[in-house]
Structure 1
Amino acid sequence: MPRDPVRLRYPDGGESKEDTTDITFLGTGNAQATACYNTCFLIRDDARRLLVDAGGGNTILNRLAQAGEDWRDVRDIIVTHKHIDHLLGVVWLMRMICQGAQRGTYEGEARLYAHDEVIGLLDQMAHALLGEKAASQLGRALHLVTVADGETRGIIGHDVTFFDIRSTKAKQFGFTLDLGAGRRLTCCGDEPYNECERAYAEGAAWLLHEAFCLHSQADIFRPYEKSHSTVKDACELAERLGVENLVLYHTEDKTIERRRELYTEEGSAYFHGNLFVPDDLETLEL
């Protein structure tokens, strides 16, 4: 039986964010979404912050501010893959960190974790776009950390294990974060679950999975042609894997005004745990 539904909190709710582990969805849309930001999220644990992807532009700075966060407090970043709706916001954060360190307005160090292809691309982009003075802060203020399939790193006080999702489009890593007490949060990236991920996804307390559209609208949005899945697909998967809480994101935005209602109605027929369809800037307690 699923536990009681986890409470959704809003950034203007007036509640302290320092005494719990939670996740704020800075964006929930797919690459072409304009009614919401591209999918990226922030995990908080006490005063520590872990950003996963950063969307497609400098809106990431606005979204962090709207979530009540100072970008300077984000000291750990995971980049799952090189698609522009996940990567280009990262370049803006690299600019802010490196230029801030160069000018003496940013203190301390930050770390960015990704597989070798993404690390190489970001290093190249930093030197090409930020200027050599700012790029000289790589390895000083900002460390680009290459991670391998199956590798575990300690990040914001949790063990985080990275895994290759075997993408058919671009090399992409998901990850699983140990929440303690035998519970874990698993992010499958932005493509459908692959059986190679079973060890990380099965029995997860939290599973973050893309759902490009309603199954009833698959003929309109054609998710399978884009290596994506539907709400029904993701919910059937979570049911098979014995997941406790399922979060659906990376969606189309044509149904944005009723997205939660429609996705929950379709998904609840196939998944009997706690199902969440967050809007941008909503927070879940983990």
Structure 2
Amino acid sequence: MNLTMLGTGNALVTECYNTCFVLEENGKYFMVDGGGGNAILQQLKCAGLNWMDIKEIFVTHKHIDHLMGIIWMVRLICQFMKSGKYEGEAHIYAHDEVIALIRDMAGKLLSEKEASFLDHRFHLVTVSDGEERKINGRKVIFFDINSSKAKQFGFCMELDDGKKLTCCGDEPYNSGAEKYARHSKWLLHEAFCLFSQADIFKPYEKHHSTVKDACELAENLDVENLLLYHTEDQNIHNRKELYMNEGEKYYSGNLFIPDDLETLKL
């Protein structure tokens, strides 16, 4: 399985794209969030991915920097279904508030014929806390991260040999997700900035964490591989080095600070 980061930044970045990614295995794709606009199409193209191959999509929450790229995917999928150029079916998974919002926006922004494909070939699937689904042959459990802001879900995907990949969304880990995050082979977690620069970026005021916080968490949860995203972009050119130097002081596992369009083999 490969993980391609389409974007790695927080909501207000301009030097990279907002955080979203694609998991690929055996030619099947699972996209998580869409960033803040139609630049999602450029990111997919630059990553060598055809948007028409993306049949499975998960949206963590309704914030603009995660949702608006999805609206472009909805538009294109419905438009190409209408013209007969899109093969097969597609699914978007999200909690009830996000599904209701996508449905409402699609009804208002798309033509009647385009919107008619929703719930016909393009399925908007509401998932609940703890619900299990089979996506591209893998068991995926969706869970409420107990966000302090907008309602948000993460997911835990079963890998080979009983291992798991856990995505905690874009807010700090909550102890309610321990059964999903503990002993993960891969933990995907936000890190707004360096702890040494917390006075500059003020992550705690935004309900975010630092590299130090995320690394201490992963160490305590016995995580094998930690991937950090949803960062500031003022250190973008030397972000890897800076974040690695701080993180390795608190985490003994494998630490990854990907750039936009970087692909990791899981």
CA distance, structure 1, for counterparts of residue 176 and residue 192 of structure 2: 21
Aligned to 1:274: 254
Q: Name which of 244, 252, 262 aligns with 2:232.
A: 252
Which residue number in structure 2 is paired with residue 242 of structure 1? 222
Partner of 2:245: 265
| TM score, norm. by length of structure 2 | 0.99
Matched-pair contact (CA < 8 Å) for 1:98–1:141: no
Match status 1:117 vs 2:128:
no
- 1:60 is aligned with what amino acid? I
- Mapped pair 1:170 → 2:165: no
* CA deviation after TM superposition for structure 1 residue 67, in Å: 1.0
Alignment deviations for residues 138-175 of structure 1 (CA, whole Å, 9 cap, x no partner): 01231000000000000011000000000010000000
The aligned residue for residue 49 of structure 2 is: 69
Partner of 1:204: 184
Q: Cα offset for 1:131?
A: 2.0
Residue type at the aligned position of 2:62: K
What letter is aligned with 1:108? G
Q: Is contact 1:49-1:76 (8 Å) kept?
A: yes
Identical positions, percent:
62
Gaps of 5+ in 1: 1-20
**Cα deviations by residue, 1:30-72 (Å, 9 ceiling, x for unpaired):** 0000100000000001110000001000111111111111101
Q: Residue 145 of structure 1 aligns with which residue?
A: 125
Aligned-partner residue type, residue 82 of structure 2: Q
AA partner of residue 119 (structure 1): I
Q: Show CA shifts across 1:65-86 (max 9, x none).
A: 1111110100000000000000
Query: For 2:175, which of 190, 195, 199 is the aligned residue?
Result: 195
Preserved CA contact (<8 Å) 1:192 1:209 = yes
In the alignment, the residues of structure 2 paired with residue 110 and residue 180 of structure 1 have an alpha-carbon distance, to the nearest angstrom, of 25
1:46 maps to 26
CA distance in 2, matches of 1:238, 1:56: 28
- The TM-score with structure 1 as length reference comes to 0.92
Give the conservation status (yes or no) of the 8 Å contact 1:97–1:141. no
Instruction: Say whether the 8 Å CA contact 1:167–1:191 is kept in structure 2.
Output: yes
- RMSD between superposed Cα atoms in Å: 0.5
For 2:72, the equivalent position in structure 1 comes to 92
Aligned counterparts of 1:104 and 1:48: Cα–Cα separation in 2: 21
Greater relative CO (CA pairs within 8 A, separation 6+)? 1
Deviations along 1:77-97, one digit per CA (max 9) or x if unpaired, are 000000000000000000000
Q: Aligned residue for 1:24?
A: 4
Number of residue-to-residue matches in the alignment? 266
> What CA distance in whole angstroms lies between the structure 1 residues aligned with 2:163 and 2:79?
39
| Counterpart check, 1:227 vs 2:197 | no
